[in-house]
Amino acid sequence: MSGSVNHAEKPGIVYETDEPVTYRVDEAGIAWITMNRPKYNNAQNSQMTYALDAAFVNAINDDAVKVIVLAGEGKHFSAGHDIGTPGRDVAKSFDRKMLLPDHVGKPGAEFLYTREQEVYLGMCRRWRDAPKATVAMVQGACIAGGLMLAWVCDLIVASEDAFFQDPVVRMGIPGVEYFAHAFELPPRVAKEFLLLGERMSAQRAESFGMVNRVVPRAELTEETQRIAIKLAAQPSLGVWLTKQAVNHVEELRGKRTAMDSVYHMHHFAHAQNDLVSGNALGGLDGKSMAAANKKQEGKA
């Protein structure tokens, strides 16, 4: 814990931890990559995203690792991208992992367009194509940017209390940057999911094949581990080829092209928000989004 000490170079950023992701490899060859900002429901800042990427790189480079589990510490898997914690570090430079320039200092819409190519779309595609099997272990909230992390995994195991939601249409934006909605859900359900922005229960998500298993919260880790052990016992190259085969079919169905096209709509919306309101998120932050969600769920 770094307390209130500011380790960031940019003034105004206060990281509550120096370890936004934990990494552990067990004796079964399972790498447990765990988002570790429970205080902020695992809101993803760049500090976390680059730590996640480093963990994926470790897991890929280690031949002892056969399967990767992506999890979130605490009550929730992930409340999404960090749009309002003290550790929000959108304007901070990091060493890029894609062949992209630094977004910091870029004028107008180029700033976010460049950043999100790297930090959201680029990273998600990179992890989705990892040459080892990946399993998302999802409890509680899996919202917006949280969906992206669950969706890039090969399998999703959810607890009964898990729910899925993409409420960013409220910001005037057509869904999160990794636009897999219409691939993960039937088109009409994807429209409902986005247009109403309501929570989808794990049980309903399972009915569309968006998640593989729904288990009681107390059995989530055990069930995930059980599946991961089975995956770890499969031949490594066979697993890699098999996931590539299915990913390839998705590409033939236009997944990558669809995402590229929607990414541009997403950034047109960011730019429009900026022009109209002076804020790329339409003036909404974590608090106001949470309040609007509560109101929608009839809790306020």
Looking at beta carbons only, is 68 or 289 nearer to Zn ion? Answer: 289
Instruction: Please provide the distance, in angstroms rounded to a whole number, between the alpha carbons at the two ends of the chain.
Output: 34
- For residue 4, the minimal CB distance to Zn ion (Å) is 29
Looking at beta carbons only, is 173 or 232 nearer to Zn ion? Answer: 173
- For residue 266, the minimal CB distance to Zn ion (Å) is 6
- For residue 84, the minimal CB distance to Zn ion (Å) is 14
Binding site for Zn ion (CB under 5 A): 116
- For residue 168, the minimal CB distance to Zn ion (Å) is 8
DSSP symbols for the chain: --TT---SSSTT---S-S-SEEEEE-TTSEEEEEE--GGGTT-B-HHHHHHHHHHHHHHHH-TT--EEEEEESSS-SB--B-SSSTT--TT-----SSS----TT--TTHHHHHHHIIIIIIHHHHHHT-SSEEEEEE-SEEETHHHHHHHTSSEEEEETT-EEE--GGGGT--S-SS--HHHHS-HHHHHHHHHH---EEHHHHHHTTSSSEEE-GGGHHHHHHHHHHHHHHS-HHHHHHHHHHHHHHHHHTTHHHHHHHHHHHHHHHHHHHHHHHSSTTTT--HHHHHHHHHHHTT--
Looking at beta carbons only, is 135 or 281 nearer to Zn ion? Answer: 281
- For residue 6, the minimal CB distance to Zn ion (Å) is 26
- For residue 238, the minimal CB distance to Zn ion (Å) is 37
Looking at beta carbons only, is 116 or 223 nearer to Zn ion? Answer: 116
- Which amino acid, 141? A
Looking at beta carbons only, is 224 or 273 nearer to Zn ion? Answer: 273
Q: Under 8 Å CB-to-CB from 237, ≥6 apart: which residues? A: none
Q: Cα–Cα distances in Å, from 296 out to 81, 139, 174, 292? A: 20, 21, 19, 6
Looking at beta carbons only, is 154 or 177 nearer to Zn ion? Answer: 177
Looking at beta carbons only, is 55 or 90 nearer to Zn ion? Answer: 90
Q: Nearest residue by C-beta to Zn ion? A: 116
- For residue 7, the minimal CB distance to Zn ion (Å) is 26
